[in-house]
Amino acid sequence: MAAPMPDQQAFFDRAAATWDDQTSAEARSRLAEIVAGLGIPADATVLDVGCGTGILFPLLVAAVGEGGRIVALDISREMLRRSQAKGYAVHLVQADAHRPPLRRAAFDWVICNAVLPHFDDKQAALTELARCLVPGGTLVVCHSHSRHFINNLHRDVGGVVAEDRVPDPALMAQLLRAAGLEPSSIVDGTDRYVAVARRIGDPRHPQGDNDPP
């Protein structure tokens, strides 16, 4: 299991104050397109992983409606503080995605927007996040920029994010499958990256409980 991430936490705590200003109108509009394209139904339960200042909150709240439930998880207290100040009906959890303190099979959707590259152990984190999905539930890894843009950005920013990479589609598919997910599409586009995968149920456990007793 990956060690705690004090460096990443401090990095994103510092980034929180200017985070909203750094997100362009174009990126926001692509995110709206990406979320609309997912077809998240009303009443769904959704986990927003690495929620930051809550850029997805208005989109998710609109998608799930009053019958839905949104939980947002982030390692950064400052990011969460700013997301809370926006006043959306979202339950916030400060935690590391490698060790989410969440019940198994608690969510219909898990969305990792602009966070996967920052996981020290992508396989371990994806496996834990898949555990939080109901069988047949959907995990999404998305970015409102291309893989090359994000990877170059991290290289340029340097420090704790210098080596953080969006996986190429072949590696992404491998990571998803090893986490017990079946990829349905991986778009590695010029202005976005969107990987969508479903949690496979375990026939030995009709309730879909893949976890050890």
Ligand X SMILES: C[S@@+](CC[C@H](N)C(=O)[O-])C[C@H]1O[C@@H](n2cnc3c(N)ncnc32)[C@H](O)[C@@H]1O
Tell whether residue 97 is a contact of ligand X (CB under 6 A).
yes
Residue from the set 34, 35, 57, 96 that interacts with ligand X by CB under 6 A: 96
| Residue 12 engages ligand X in binding (rule: CB under 6 A) | yes
Least CB distance to ligand X at residue 176 (A): 18
Site for ligand X in 163-182 (CB under 6 A): none
Give the residue closest to ligand X by C-beta.
52
Residue with tokens 């291309």: 146
**Helix, strand, coil percentages, rounded to 5, for the chain:** 40, 25, 40
Q: In the set 57, 107, 109, 119, which binds ligand X (CB under 6 A)?
A: 119
Q: Does 92 bind ligand X (CB under 6 A)?
A: no
Instruction: Please identify, using beta-carbon distances, which residue of 119 and 193 lies nearer to ligand X.
Output: 119
57 versus 201: smaller Cβ distance to ligand X: 57
79 binds ligand X (CB under 6 A): yes
The only residue of 35, 38, 52, 196 in contact with ligand X, by rule CB under 6 A: 52
Task: Please give the angle made by the CA atoms of 145, 148 and 151, to the nearest 5 degrees.
Answer: 95
Q: Which residue has the tokens 């009053």?
A: 66
Which tokens go with 46? 């959704």
72 close to 61: Cβ distance less than 8 angstroms: no
Q: Is 151 in the site for ligand X (CB under 6 A)?
A: no
The Cα–Cα gap between 76 and 87 comes to 18
- Total number of residues that touch ligand X (CB under 6 A): 21
Q: Smallest distance from the beta carbon of 161 to ligand X, in angstroms?
A: 8
Q: Is 50 in the site for ligand X (CB under 6 A)?
A: yes
What is the H or E stretch that residue 38 is in?
helix 25-38
- Among 75, 92, 196, 197, the residue binding ligand X under the rule CB under 6 A is 75
Query: What does DSSP assign to residue 159?
Result: G
CB count in 10 Å sphere of residue 19: 18
CA-to-CA dists, residue 32 to 25, 80, 81, 112, 196, angstroms: 11, 21, 23, 15, 16
| Selected binder of ligand X within 40, 60, 70, 74 (CB under 6 A) | 74
Give the strand pairing for 133-143 and 107-113.
parallel
Residues that bind ligand X (CB under 6 A): 5, 8, 12, 23, 50-52, 55, 73-76, 79, 96-98, 113-115, 118-119
